[in-house]
Amino acid sequence: MELILAADLLSPHAGLIFWKALTFLLLLYLLYRFAWEPITTALNDREKTISDSIQRAEKALAEAKQIQADNQKARREAEQEAQRLLREAREQAEQLRADEVQQTREQIQQMRDQAQAEIEREKQGALDELRAEVADLAIQAAEKILEDSLDGARQRKLVADFIDDLPKN
């Protein structure tokens, strides 16, 4: 009984083997040709595309970060530059004003000096002129005296009087 039962399940059947092998080979070929080949290549392509895209995106991100960092750096530098320029300009302006004031002051001083010198010179001139005038007058007086007969005492008195007559300055 058991033998027959087992034989039913295990008995070899050449026809089935033949048909099965044929079918499987055909199935393998058809699937390989029309299914696995397009599917697996498509999957590989897609995976490649995705990994490439990710790589590209990562690269782009890194680039963007780099650019951003560069921009930030440039901006900071520009700001620093601007501040420096401003400071310099301010300093320059300060300097310029100080110079201007100094110059004006010097100019005023100079003008005052000039005026003083002028006055001095004028005064000197006037004194000189006066002196010359005085001398001339003295000489004229002397001449007058000489033209008169002169005695010593009178002469001395005349001179003294004359000198006293002279304005004190």
Contact pick of 27, 67, 115, 130 for other proteins (by CB under 8 A): 27
Check binding of 52 to other proteins (CB under 8 A): no
For residue 122, give both structure tokens: 């004028």
Size of the site for other proteins (CB under 8 A): 38
* Separation in Å, CA 2 to CA 5, 8, 50, 105: 5, 10, 60, 137
Binders in 70-129 for other proteins, by CB under 8 A: none
Q: How far is the CB of 3 from other proteins (least distance, A)?
A: 9
Q: Which is nearer to other proteins, 1 or 153 (CB)?
A: 1
- Can residue 34 be called a binding residue for other proteins (CB under 8 A)? yes
Work out the angle at residue 165's Cα, subtended by the Cα atoms of residues 162 and 168, and round it to the nearest 5 degrees. 120
Asked if 147 is part of the footprint of other proteins (rule: CB under 8 A), the reply reads no
* Cβ atoms within 10 Å, residue 162: 16
Joined tokens for residue 97: 């004003």
Q: Does 53 bind other proteins (CB under 8 A)?
A: no
What DSSP assignment string belongs to 85-122?
HHHHHHHHHHHHHHHHHHHHHHHHHHHHHHHHHHHHHH
Q: Does 39 bind other proteins (CB under 8 A)?
A: yes
Q: Work out whether 32 is an interface residue with other proteins (CB under 8 A).
A: yes
The answer to whether 153 contacts other proteins (rule: CB under 8 A) is: no
Residue with tokens 């990710």: 54
Q: Is 8 in the site for other proteins (CB under 8 A)?
A: yes
The sign of the dihedral angle between the CA atoms of 12, 18, 23, 28 is positive
Note the residues at the interface with other proteins (CB under 8 A).
1, 4-5, 7-10, 12-21, 23-24, 26-28, 30-32, 34-43, 45-46, 49
